[in-house]
Amino acid sequence: MRSRSKGRGLRRGLEAALIFLLLAPLILPSCSREEGNGPRIGVCVADRGSREFELIRRGMEEAAREMGAELIWRDMTPRWRREGESSVTAERRIVEELLRKGIDALIWTPPTDDPDKEFLVLKRARDEGVPVVALDRLPRRMKASIFIRPNYVAMGEMAAEFAVERALRDRESANFIVLEEPPGDRNLREVVMGIYNVLDGCPQVTVLAGPRPKSYEEAAGIVNALLTRYAGNVQAIVACRSDLAAGAAEALKAYRLEDRAVTVGVGAMRIGIERILKGEHDAEIDPMHEERGKLAFEAAVKLAKGEEIKPDDLIDNFGVEAPVKYGPARVITPQNVRLFFKIYPELWGTR
């Protein structure tokens, strides 16, 4: 009798142990990461589904796989933003949620550059000891652990250098039109500064005009008028933005000058790439969004591990010195435009 009772007790013990193992994940606090896994990186970007941030996210996802880190992406699309919620309110809620998830670093693109609205996000991250990588936008008078952004001045210089080389290839001098930034756009103003850095140092170049169109249509109309004024004696048009360059290309096409004048735009927007494919536009400067996303994620992982990041520059952010690291850029021409097949595959649909 004693041995039979002992056997039943053993079976009951085994059954209880089995039940505990099955129920443990439900009744015990969950652990989202095992010991030794890579850092957890939270991302909060003020984007509503643009192609630019789609590419940035793709670059981050690739970096996360390569580095064995966890990416938690949040943006301002309806999936994450509640109905009736302002961008600033959504941003604060999302950042709080990310901090509660125990992120090791935050990648942040704020919806505004107003320090009064954005200060709280940086303060909360600092209170939790979480380093912040600002991506593409940094509020005035504020400083993040590192600021990742395109090098707009360098991209303007690349555009102008390409145009000068092409325009002066078979002649000793050339007339240029520069399509400058629309009023109030600080980033494009830096692009224009880069353009003039090159053109002002080139005595063979005469800048006939520097208008500031706001749109494709306005650029086409202005360039059309300038071509009439100068009897088509224009050898190059450099635009600070892709759609403005496309408008210039349209005006040149109307004058049948597309093969006699160089056009260069900055941004590699869909409209610029389409014009290159049609043979109506010479070059675009690509800010390489995917690579910049990868760079931002790599910086966040390094900061999460306590590593230092050497900045490329220190910029004056309205009186506050902010460390910045620049994303790469490249020239896109008919010879390498195929690089954009995975970005705008629809443009190759009938080719």
CATH of the domain at 222: 3.40.50.2300
Same domain, 64 and 184: no
Instruction: Indicate the burial class of 277 (C-beta count within 10 angstroms; 0-12, 13-18, 19 or more).
Output: middle
For position 25, what pLDDT does the model report? 39
pLDDT at 37: 78
Residue numbers of the domain that contains 48: 40-144+289-327
Name the packing angle between helices 242-254 and 270-277 (round to 10°). Answer: 40
Residues 308 and 235 in one domain: no
Is residue 2 in some structural domain? no
Position 7 in a domain? no
* Shared-domain flag, residues 171 and 62: no
CA angle 304, 309, 314 (to 5 degrees): 130
Low pLDDT (below 50) residues in the chain: 1-6, 10, 14, 16-36
Q: Quick one: 119 and 173 in the same domain? A: no
Note whether 228 and 304 are same-domain residues.
Answer: no
Handedness of CA 111, 114, 116, 120 (dihedral sign): positive
Given this model, what pLDDT does residue 15 score? 53
Q: Is residue 177 part of a domain?
A: yes
Query: Which of these, 191, 187, 132, 134, lies nearest to 157 by C-alpha position?
Result: 191
Q: Which pLDDT score is estimated for 350?
A: 52
pLDDT at residue number 349: 83
Q: Per the domain annotation, does 227 fall within a domain? A: yes
Q: Are residues 244 and 165 in the same domain?
A: yes
The answer to the question of residue 275 being in a domain is: yes
Q: For residue 259, is it within any domain?
A: yes
253 and 169, same structural domain? yes
Q: Is residue 337 included in any domain, yes or no?
A: yes
In a domain, 120, yes or no: yes
Number of domains in the chain: 2
Indicate whether 192 and 295 sit together in one domain: no
Give yes or no: residues 169 and 136 share one domain.
no
Q: What is the pLDDT of residues 206-257, one digit of tens each?
A: 999 999 999 999 999 999 999 999 999 999 999 999 999 999 999 999 999 9
Amino acid at 66: E
